[in-house]
């Protein structure tokens, strides 16, 4: 494994540990107002305080925990739906494939973020509404990849052999197609997870994601945005946290595809 | 030839691949001398290092290969000591290369003329107009149809044989001293192969160049080469002038290569009592609106092998798809064991599905890499016969023994850990696990080396004797037909041209197409190519509207 990839793995593991252990590691709670607003960096508040006087370091940890958890749940749902339908329409073909593929085409024609904003303005911002909507938007992308990969595998002779043996659709999907598609699908999961993570942060930045007072990396950027005019780097810290995770995941996925893809 | 100096001389060349500390030898101390005006044939199985040696003659090595010893000298210059730029200047101008797949060698986005003249224009600095007129002359000489129009076409607008001739023209354009032919006719039909071989032979003779002809097909090499060198796993086995080599091979390995062509199934002692396994009656089929099968009727009895022969695109494989139910025919019906089977596989009963089993051309894609051999063979046992657990394992082991593989070693392996021949055996075991009454073999030996293929053919023959299944054997190789078939069906453009007992069809063909197909199969006789071209030329003279213009 190259050094860069190894560094990325360490970063990802650190992020996951911090997210899991946030209540233990954080010096303050995520809602605690412990000092005046916009305190500079000092001994008790290592990274200063935000617009309401909450400890930024603690909120970064909790924000990571919230964003990461929601992104993971969303990515898993999107993945199950996308891969399930994609493989099914590739193997099944016929009208099922036509209906699903055209539906996905329509959904993909609408820009993801705008579509999500539209739907959220109908449902109102709640965590489950956000998870469902992002999962729906991302599932369309996963569907296309899963369908493409499966179409290639479905034309292989061993799948034809299974068909004329008389095997049913569930067997062909579970035993013949999916085991041969794991490498590209696993890589796609990594990438989709980063996109979802960014998506959640972007919605929160716009005020439609995770609602205050819960800490969230995207909304932390917005809350402290004014500081940038004073040459403070504090609003960039949550942004850097987001970037650190997404870039690391991307590099790891690239390495994985090169090794096993 | 002691007084002549070789134009190309390879001495004690060793090439390795793989990691530095654990190298895999590709070539092991091979010598080669090539004189002006002669063609040297290199033959061997896949992995013998013949392509590597062919490329080494250009001082070129595939990525991952490195020279561990020896020299390559061309006209007194050491090719291995050159810089890449110096070597590049020689490639195409002094030494040219004709690749196996012309379709993959041409860029589909450019016209043929631009690609054929590219090396001459860029490497040799020939003015574009001169290069173009030279190419035209070559097109005419190679009897390409409408030489003036030919260069304006794109690669997909001409046939495979014409494309291979254009590739040869490209190699000849700079008038190189040496041309390396790497299996240039392997992807072509036999009737096309005759034309292409003839063109290449003329070109080599007319230009007085030296050639290296790499092939796994002995009969083709026999036509082209003056001398033959046999390679086995990177070592030289034997080298002799073609006629001596054909008449009396010295080494055991060479003899075994020769013997493959000698299998022949004894003519079936024709009591017509056994029951019909497959009857196809008046089948018409099409892909979309394109008709591919027209009024096809055949039948196969128990214990009998029907060989279906024809060129690519004649509908052989489509017929197999109709038999298995993958393609529903537009008209006509298929009877399995005397009763009509549903036309689509989804509608067929489990016993009908079990009755017809298929073995594919490419064992690499016919097996799921993610499953163990035990799972692959075990699944039809569970699916059709309800065998589970210990019973399943026991039967799978029996099947492995039947195909000559040790169950203790192979049951747990995955297809990735098997060779091509072993994979094909596993495919056979999987088909036999269903206990079929009909086995469909679609070009099952064409992706395998001769000796491995011979083993597969013998295995199928033995199994058929024991299990008495009917066999439908699709092939373009007429040598194989002689080896295994009881009856033969010849297909052309979706129709059965001739159908009958093997000896009747092969020894006394009634239709002109069958005669042409049979005569196009290369024979061991080095004079065969010249004879057959004279014969075909006579046919074209008498026939109306010949395809190409006569050479100047």
Q: What is the pLDDT of residues B447-467, one digit of tens each?
A: 787 788 888 998 999 999 999
The answer to whether A163 contacts chain B (CB < 8 Å) is yes
Q: How confident is the model at residue B378 (pLDDT cuts 50, 70, 90)?
A: very high
Q: Is residue A220 within 8 Å of A63, Cβ to Cβ? A: yes
Contact A47, A60 (CB under 8 A): yes
- The whole-angstrom separation of Cα B165 and Cα B195 is 9
Closest-CA residue in chain A for B430? A161
Q: Which residues of chain B make contact with A165, given a CB cutoff of 8 A?
A: 353, 379-380, 383-384, 434
Q: Which residue of A lies nearest to B360 if distances are taken between CA atoms?
A: A157
The first and second tokens of residue B278, run together, are 């497959």
Instruction: Quickly tell me which residue has 């890499």 as its tokens.
Output: B369
Instruction: Render pLDDT for B53-67 as a digit per residue (tens, 0 to 9).
Output: 888 888 888 887 888
pLDDT at residue A125 in the model = 85
pLDDT at B18 > cutoff 80? no
Q: Which of B433, B531, B4 is nearest to B223 (CA)?
A: B531
CB A215 within 8 A of CB A62: yes
Tokens read off for B229: 């060198």
Q: Is the peptide bond before B201 cis (omega within 30 degrees of 0)?
A: no
The answer for residues whose C-beta is within 8 angstroms of residue B323's C-beta and 6 or more apart is: B278, B280, B334, B356, B438, B440, B472
pLDDT at B551: 40
Environment class of B131 (CB within 10 Å of its CB; exposed 0-12, middle 13-18, buried 19+): buried
pLDDT for B550: 41
More confident call, A169 vs B63: A169
Average pLDDT over residues B509-525: 85
Cα of B445 to nearest chain A Cα, Å: 16
Cα separation, B405 vs B459, whole angstroms: 12
Backbone angles phi, psi at B239, to 5 degrees: -140, 135
**Distance from C-alpha of A155 to C-alpha of A129, rounded to nearest angstrom:** 39
Contact B238, B254 (CB under 8 A): yes
Question: Is the model's pLDDT at B262 over the cut of 70?
Answer: no
CA distance A99 to A87: 14
- Residue B273 confidence class, pLDDT cut points 50, 70, 90: low
| pLDDT of A159 strictly over 90 | yes
- Count CB neighbours of B91 within 10 A: 17
Higher pLDDT, B366 or B59: B366
Rounded to a whole number, what is the distance in angstroms from the first to the last CA of chain B? 33
Give the Cβ contact number of residue B468 at 10 Å.
13
Average pLDDT over residues B126-145: 87
Nearest CA in chain A to B433: A165
Q: Is B1 exposed, middle or buried (0-12, 13-18, 19+ CB in 10 A)?
A: exposed
What's residue B548's pLDDT?
42
Q: Which of A156, A163, A175 sits opposite B365 (nearest CB)?
A: A156
What's phi and psi for B360, nearest 5 deg?
Answer: -100, 165
The per-residue pLDDT for range A134-145, each reduced to its tens digit, is 999 999 999 999
pLDDT at A70: 94
The answer to whether B440 and B278 have CB atoms below 8 angstroms apart is no
Q: Which residue has the higher pLDDT, A256 or B248?
A: A256
Instruction: Find chain A residues with C-beta within 8 A of B380's C-beta.
Output: 165
* CB–CB contact B326 A164 (8 Å): yes
Instruction: Give the CA diameter of chain B.
Output: 76
* Distances in whole angstroms, Cα of residue B443 to Cα of each of A197, A221, A243, B183, B286: 51, 65, 54, 19, 21
User: Which three-class secondary structure state does DSSP give residue B482?
Assistant: helix
Q: Give the separation between CA A147 and CA B234, rounded to whole angstroms.
A: 44
| Radius of gyration of the CA atoms of chain B, in A | 26
Helix (H) or strand (E) holding A127: helix A127-154
Q: If you search the block for the tokens 């071989």, which residue do you land on?
A: B197
- Which chain A residue is nearest to residue B380, measuring alpha carbons? A165
Residues of chain B positioned with their CB less than 8 A from the CB of A170: none
CA–CA distance, A60 with A19 (Å, rounded to integer): 10
Provide the 3-class DSSP secondary structure of residue B145.
Answer: coil
How far out from the chain centre does Cα B314 lie? 17
For residue A149, is pLDDT > 90? yes
Nearest by Cα to B307 from B481, B191, B109, B78? B481
Rounded distance, CA B105 to CA B99, Å?
A: 7
Residue B382 near chain A (CB below 8 Å): no
- Of A35-49, A144-158, B18-32, B481-495, least confident by mean pLDDT is B18-32
Tokens of B416: 């990735």
Which residues from A are below 8 Å from B324, CB to CB? 164
Q: CA of A179: which chain B residue's CA is closest?
A: B370
Least confident segment among A10-24, A146-160, A207-221: A207-221
Categorize the per-residue pLDDT at B271 as very low, low, confident or very high, splitting at 50, 70 and 90.
low
Q: What is the pLDDT of residue A161?
A: 93
Spatial separation of the C-alpha atoms in residues B238 and B258, rounded to whole Å: 13
Angle between helices B420-433 and B373-385 (to 10 degrees): 20
| Confidence band for B499, pLDDT divided at 50, 70 and 90 | very high
- Residue B243 tokens, joined: 């006629």
Chain A contact for B380, CB < 8 A?
A: yes
Q: Where is pLDDT greater, at A27 or B479?
A: A27
- Mean pLDDT of all residues in A111-115: 92
CB contact under 8 A, A157 and B366: yes
Check if the beta carbon of residue B443 is closer than 8 Å to that of residue B474: yes
Q: What mean pLDDT is reported for chain B?
A: 86
Contact call for A157 and B345, based on CB within 8 A: no
- What whole-number distance in Å separates Cα of residue B368 and Cα of residue B415? 7
> Do β-strands B8-17 and B24-34 pair in parallel, antiparallel, or remain unpaired?
antiparallel
Judged by DSSP in three states, B183 sits in: coil
Of A164, A166, A180, the CB nearest to B368: A180
**Cβ burial B325-362 (10 Å sphere, 16+ → b, else e):** bebebeebebebbeeebbbebeebeeebbbbbbbbbbb
Tens of pLDDT along A237-258? Answer: 999 999 999 999 999 999 998 8
Interface touch A164/B362, C-beta < 8 Å: no
User: Would the CB atoms of A180 and B371 count as touching at under 8 Å?
Assistant: no
pLDDT at position B376 over 90? yes
- Mean pLDDT (chain A, rounded): 91
Residue A127 CB partners (closer than 8 Å, separation 6+): A70, A210
User: Are A157 and B362 inside 8 Å of each other by CB?
Assistant: yes
A42–chain B Cβ distance below 8 A for any pair:
no
Check whether B270 has a pLDDT greater than 60. Answer: no
Question: Is B348 close to A165, i.e. CB distance below 8 A?
Answer: no
How close A97 gets to chain B, by Cα (Å)? Answer: 18
| Mean pLDDT across A104-108 | 95
Contact B353/A at CB under 8 A? yes
- Asked if A176 lies within 8 A of B369 by C-beta distance, the reply is no
Rounded Cα gap, residues B530 and A178, in angstroms: 54
pLDDT at residue B547 in the model: 46
Cα–Cα distance measured from residue B32 to residue A175, given in angstroms and rounded to the nearest whole number? 51
Q: Which residues of B touch A166 (CB under 8 A)?
A: 345, 348, 350, 353, 383
Residue the block writes with tokens 């593929």: A101
């Amino acid at each position: 494994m190259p050094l860069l990839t190894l560094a990325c793995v360490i970063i990802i593991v650190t992020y996951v540990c911090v997210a899991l252990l946030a209540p233990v590691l954080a010096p303050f709670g995520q809602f605690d107002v412990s000092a005046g607003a916009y305190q500079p960096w000092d001994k008790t508040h290592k990274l200063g305080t935000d617009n309401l006087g909450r400890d930024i370091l603690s909120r970064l940890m909790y924000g990571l925990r919230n964003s990461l958890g929601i992104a993971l749940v969303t990515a898993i749902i999107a993945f199950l739906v996308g891969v399930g339908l994609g493989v099914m329409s590739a193997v099944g073909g016929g009208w099922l494939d036509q209906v699903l593929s055209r539906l996905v085409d329509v959904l993909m024609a609408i820009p993801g973020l705008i579509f999500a904003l539209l739907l959220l303005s109908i449902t109102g911002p709640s965590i489950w509404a956000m998870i469902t909507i992002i999962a729906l938007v991302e599932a369309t992308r996963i569907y296309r990849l899963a369908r493409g990969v499966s179409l290639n595998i479905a034309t292989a002779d061993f799948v034809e052999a299974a068909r004329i043996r008389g095997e049913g659709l569930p067997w062909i999907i579970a035993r013949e197609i999916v085991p041969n598609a794991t490498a590209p699908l696993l890589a796609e999961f990594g990438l989709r997870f980063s996109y979802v993570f960014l998506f959640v942060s972007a919605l929160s930045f716009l005020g439609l994601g995770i609602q205050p007072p819960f800490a969230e990396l995207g909304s932390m950027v917005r809350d402290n945005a004014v500081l940038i005019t004073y040459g403070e780097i504090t609003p960039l810290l949550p942004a850097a946290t987001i970037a650190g995770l997404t870039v690391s995941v991307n590099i790891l996925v690239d390495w994985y595809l090169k090794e096993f893809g | 030839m002691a007084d002549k100096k070789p134009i190309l001389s390879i001495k004690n060349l060793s090439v390795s691949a793989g990691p530095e500390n654990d190298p895999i030898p590709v070539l092991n101390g091979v010598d080669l001398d090539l004189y002006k005006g002669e063609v040297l044939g290199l033959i061997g199985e896949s992995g013998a290092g013949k392509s590597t040696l062919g490329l080494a003659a250009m001082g070129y090595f595939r990525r991952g290969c490195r020279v561990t010893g020896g020299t390559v000298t061309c006209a007194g210059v050491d090719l291995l000591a050159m810089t890449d730029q110096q070597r590049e200047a020689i490639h195409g101008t002094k030494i040219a290369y004709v690749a196996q797949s012309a379709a993959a060698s041409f860029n589909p986005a450019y016209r043929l003329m631009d690609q054929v003249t590219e090396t001459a224009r860029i490497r040799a600095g020939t003015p574009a107009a001169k290069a173009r007129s030279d190419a035209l002359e070559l097109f005419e000489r190679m009897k390409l149809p409408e030489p003036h129009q030919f260069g304006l076409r794109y690669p997909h607008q001409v046939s495979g044989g014409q494309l291979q001739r254009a590739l040869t023209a490209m190699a000849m354009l700079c008038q190189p001293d040496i041309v390396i032919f790497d299996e240039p006719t392997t992807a072509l039909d036999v009737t096309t192969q005759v034309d292409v071989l003839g063109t290449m032979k003329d070109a080599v003779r007319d230009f007085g160049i030296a050639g290296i002809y790499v092939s796994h097909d002995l009969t083709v090499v026999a036509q082209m080469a003056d001398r033959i060198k046999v390679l086995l796993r990177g070592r030289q086995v034997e080298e002799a002038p073609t006629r001596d080599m054909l008449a009396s091979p010295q080494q055991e390995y060479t003899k075994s290569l020769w013997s493959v062509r000698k299998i022949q199934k004894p003519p079936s002692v024709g009591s017509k009592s056994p029951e019909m396994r497959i009857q196809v009656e008046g089948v018409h089929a099409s892909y979309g609106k394109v008709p591919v099968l027209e009024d096809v009727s055949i039948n196969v009895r128990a214990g009998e092998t029907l060989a279906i022969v024809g060129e690519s695109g004649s509908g052989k494989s489509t017929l197999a798809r109709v038999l298995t139910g993958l393609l529903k025919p537009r008209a006509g019906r298929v009877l399995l064991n005397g009763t009509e089977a549903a036309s689509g596989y989804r509608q067929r009963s489990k016993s009908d599905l079990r009755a017809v089993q298929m073995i594919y051309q490419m064992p690499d894609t016919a097996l799921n890499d993610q499953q163990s051999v035990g799972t692959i063979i075990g699944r039809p046992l569970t699916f059709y016969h309800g065998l589970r657990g210990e019973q399943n394992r026991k039967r799978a082991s029996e099947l492995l023994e039947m195909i000559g593989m040790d169950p203790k070693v192979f049951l747990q392996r995955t297809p990735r850990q098997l060779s091509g021949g072993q994979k094909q055996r596993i495919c056979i075991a999987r088909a036999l696990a269903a206990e079929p009454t009909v086995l469909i073999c679609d070009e099952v030996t064409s992706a395998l080396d001769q000796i491995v293929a011979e083993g597969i053919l013998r295995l199928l023959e033995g199994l058929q004797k024991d299990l008495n299944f009917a066999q439908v054997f699709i092939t373009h190789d007429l040598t194989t037909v002689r080896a295994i078939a009881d009856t033969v069906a010849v297909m052309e453009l979706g129709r059965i041209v001739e159908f009958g007992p093997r000896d009747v069809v092969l020894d006394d063909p009634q239709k002109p197409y069958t005669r042409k197909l049979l005569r196009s199969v290369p024979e061991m006789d080095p004079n065969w190519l010249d004879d057959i071209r004279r014969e075909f030329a006579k046919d074209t003279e008498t026939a109306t509207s010949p395809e190409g213009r006569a050479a100047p």
